[in-house]
Amino acid sequence: MSVKQNLNKIEEEISNHIEKNSISAQPHVIAVTKYVTIERAKEAYQAGIRHFGENRLEGFKEKKAALPDDAIFHFIGSLQSRKVKDVINEVDYFHALDRLSLAKEINKRANHVISCFVQVNVSGEESKHGIALDEVNEFLNELKDYENIKIVGLMTMAPLTDDASYIKSIFHDLRHKKEEIQQFNLEHAPCTELSMGMSNDYQIAVEEGTTFVRIGTKLVGEEE
């Protein structure tokens, strides 16, 4: 399938879910290009996609260099502190802020304010990165003097399961946390955005009002 065909299908599904659930805003679709070639990423750009996600330094740099300047780049993977200086100033959105030591390094190396999502481990699985849901407020409080970090939203990855109602509860909890934080009116953490939903669960995330979905396999993953 071409990226355009995949995108049309995904956008149609998103529209259906938005209508059904009376959601006002259309989420942004981030094409996760970590599995595919530069050529395929360019095809995604031609298809009209402007948001691109990569989870590794090398892939990030390669795709960013190859695509036009108006492509918006999301770093969606965990980042080792020692690699922060190599990439952070090229990132439009960083989705995996999950510890204070990383925030400290980003703050030190950034030459402008970096838009970050706090990665939250909603399900509490041990294998997952992220701050526990009940520790997010305290974490945000600790970030308030980091002048180069702006918390634009919360990000999570749902557990790998076929249990749609469980996944929905995870996304629901994250949306609640985001709404709670918005009420605080924090200058350093407006927290207007949600980054949740991947190939297998983006419809559920859309129902829960996500503002960004991160789709690899179903959008660009299967090359012809």
Instruction: State the DSSP H helix or E strand holding residue 153, giving kind and residue range, or none if neither.
Output: strand 149-155
Q: Does 27 bind ligand PLP (CB under 6 A)?
A: no
Q: Does 158 bind ligand PLP (CB under 6 A)?
A: no
User: Shortest Cβ distance from residue 97 to ligand PLP (Å)?
Assistant: 13
If the CB atoms of residues 55 and 107 are measured against ligand PLP, the closer one turns out to be 55
Show contacts of 93-100: CB within 8 Å, 24+ apart.
93/117, 93/152, 95/53, 95/119, 95/155, 95/195, 95/214, 96/129, 96/155, 97/149, 97/151, 98/129, 98/130, 98/131, 99/131, 100/139, 100/142, 100/143
Of 44, 56, 59, the closest CA to residue 223 belongs to: 44
Among 28, 34, 177, 178, binds ligand PLP (CB under 6 A): 34
Q: Does 211 bind ligand PLP (CB under 6 A)?
A: no
Whether the CB-CB separation of 93 and 77 falls below 8 Å is answered with: no
What is each CA distance from 192 to 40, 132, 180, in whole angstroms? 31, 19, 11
Q: Does 153 bind ligand PLP (CB under 6 A)?
A: no
What is each CA distance from 115 to 41, 79, 82, 85, 207, in whole angstroms? 23, 15, 19, 16, 25
Per-residue binding string, ligand PLP, 38-77, x by CB under 6 A, is -----------------x--------------------xx
Q: Does 133 bind ligand PLP (CB under 6 A)?
A: no
Q: Does 203 bind ligand PLP (CB under 6 A)?
A: no
Q: Does 199 bind ligand PLP (CB under 6 A)?
A: yes
Q: Does 91 bind ligand PLP (CB under 6 A)?
A: no
Among 103, 143, 198, 206, binds ligand PLP (CB under 6 A): 198
The tokens describing 3, both together, are 């990226």
If the CB atoms of residues 45 and 52 are measured against ligand PLP, the closer one turns out to be 52
If the CB atoms of residues 88 and 213 are measured against ligand PLP, the closer one turns out to be 213
How many residues belong to the site for ligand PLP (CB under 6 A)? 14
Which positions lie near ligand PLP, rule CB under 6 A?
A: 32, 34, 55, 76-77, 157, 198-200, 214-217, 221
